[in-house]
Structures are given as structure tokens and as C-alpha cells.
Amino acid sequence: MRGTNRDHSGTRVYEAQATGVVKKNAGGKFIEEYAWSNLIVNSVPVALSPAVTNFRQLVSLDTFEGVPDLSQVLPLIGPITDLLTFYSDLRLAATQGSLAHAGDHLYFKHGTPNSWADGNYVLTGEDSIDFDITLAAADFPNQTATVVVRHVVPAQPQIKFPADWMRAPVSGTPNNWVQVSKNSDSKSDADKYTAAVGKETFDVELKVSLADGRINSATLDNPVEVLQLDCADLALTKCGNPVRYEIRRRIEIR
């Protein structure tokens, strides 16, 4: 996996390797068990703790294995959740039964919040999305297909706002993304928390083998329009001036 993460503080470029083994779970469903290694951030190798190297991520196109415990895998939360996104998107597209020809399209209302909070640094991290899915191309002689999955803002996002000021739309739609994190750089009692809210979308493109369902490659483009305040209390009522910026993540697997 290779990724670029750009925000108001700069650009972070990383790559990581996931090595998988195919197994069956207790219910007889095929699953893939991945170990993560070789994390490199801005061209510098990152030493991984034993908790991270021993962690195994379970994903499947046959069943949903759930969201793993992210509390001990901080350096790899992004790669882990992005791999889960690729598998979940393809599984959703494959199980709807209405994508058979190039151009076929469906809209799947979801809205249920997804969380990436680790409980240590990120105290609240949620987004709420619906899925707009298209079978963009189907090459039956070569047994390949291209699936495009757009994660869009629901009419009524279901995230929980820790403070009332987070409810005002940041970018033309209801806010569907929220994050509250500890400000680890704070040198005083002020500005203990960074609180942010905004609009998030994803554009995911999956190149898939029709012969066996394998994901040959995939890309993810993830912009977030953000309103951020630094706050001195967890209730997010004693805050400084707002800052607006864009987070832009671009991810690929191959």
C-alpha cells in the first residue's frame, strides 16, 4: 500500500506491506489474515512495536469480520482501515446482485457511523456515508472488471457531535465527519484538545478479476473539508479561533 496524506501542516507519504494467508473461519467462510510490516514514512523506516507486528487483520469478500481493535496499532490505523474499505466496498458491490453490465449502477443507503477512534490519541473519530456504486467496465474475454464506489454524504448523517457548534454545515451539505484528539504538542493547560468537523467523501476504484474475485489493484481519493478549533476542555466550549483547511488522502494497493 502506498499513500499520501496532505493537510494544513504538510504532506506525509508512506508505504507499508501486508502479507496475507487464506484461511476458513469457524463458520466455514473464507477469510484473509494479514500481517503488516515494512512501514516507511517520508522515506524513513518506522520501527513497529511487538503489538503491531503481532497484530493480524482479518478481511473477507465472503463475510464481514468487523472492525479490528485499533488501540495498539497507532502507526497503521490508516492502512488498516483503508484495506478494510477496499474489501468492504467490493463485497457490497458483489452482493447486491444488480451489477452485471458496464454502466449498471446502484445507490446503497447506509449512514451508520464508522469509527477510527483509538481511545488514546483520537478520542472521537466518526464518519457517516452512503454508497453510490457503478460497474464502470466489464472485460469478459480478459476476465476483469472495474468497479467505482463513491462514498457520499447521506441526507441525514448519523454521527454524534460532541459540541453544538459542530452542527453548522462546513461545506454545503450536512457535516458527516468529526474528530476530537488529544493535543500531544501542548506545553500548557490550554489547547488540550483539537476538535474538527466537516464534509468527507471517498472515490474508490477497484480493478477486479472476474475469474476468482481477486482485487488486482485499487485506488482511493479521500478529500475532507475541515473546520478545526483548539480547545482547553473536553466539552469543547473553551476554544480558540476556527481554522479551515482540506485534508486530502490518496491511497493505492497493488
Looking at per-residue pLDDT, the higher value among 69 and 15 belongs to 15
Which band of pLDDT confidence, cut at 50, 70 and 90, is reported for residue 223?
very high
Instruction: Render 74-85 in DSSP notation, one character per residue.
Output: GGGHHHHHHHHH
Q: Which residue has the higher pLDDT, 153 or 64?
A: 153
- pLDDT tens for 66-102 read 888 888 898 999 999 999 999 999 999 998 878 989 9
Q: Is the dihedral of CA 219, 225, 231, 233 positive or negative?
A: negative
Cβ atoms of 199 and 171 within 8 Å: the answer is yes
Considering only CA atoms, which of 21, 112, 34 is closest in space to residue 68? Answer: 34
C-alpha triplet 12, 57, 29: angle, nearest 5°: 140
Task: Quickly list DSSP for 175-203.
Answer: --EEEEEE-TT--SSS--EEEEEEEE-EE
pTM of the model: 0.89
What pLDDT is attached to residue 72? 87
Q: What does the pLDDT look like over 158-213, one tens digit per residue? A: 999 999 999 999 999 999 999 999 986 545 545 599 999 999 999 999 999 999 88
* Nearest in space to 198 (alpha carbons), one of 165, 221, 220: 165
Q: Is the pLDDT of residue 141 over 80?
A: yes
Residue pLDDT, tens place only, 119-133: 888 999 999 999 999
pLDDT at 131: 97
**Nearest residue to 246 via CA among 9, 8, 78:** 8
Give the amino acid at 51.
A
Q: Is the pLDDT of residue 238 over 60?
A: yes
Start-to-end Cα distance in the chain:
7
| pLDDT at res. 74 | 87
Using only the alpha carbons of the chain, give its radius of gyration. 19
pLDDT tens figures, 21-37: 999 999 999 999 999 99
Quick one: pLDDT at residue 113?
93
pLDDT of residue 184: 66
Give the residue extent of every domain in the chain: 2-253
Identify the pLDDT of residue 191. 57
Question: How far apart (Å, rounded) are the C-alpha atoms in residues 25 and 28?
Answer: 5
**The predicted structure's pLDDT at residue 121:** 87
Amino acid at 150: R
Mean pLDDT of 217-243: 96
User: Residue 57: what pLDDT?
Assistant: 97
Rounded Cα distance between 33 and 28, Å, is 15
**CATH code assigned to 2-253:** 2.30.230
d(CA 111, CA 171): 18
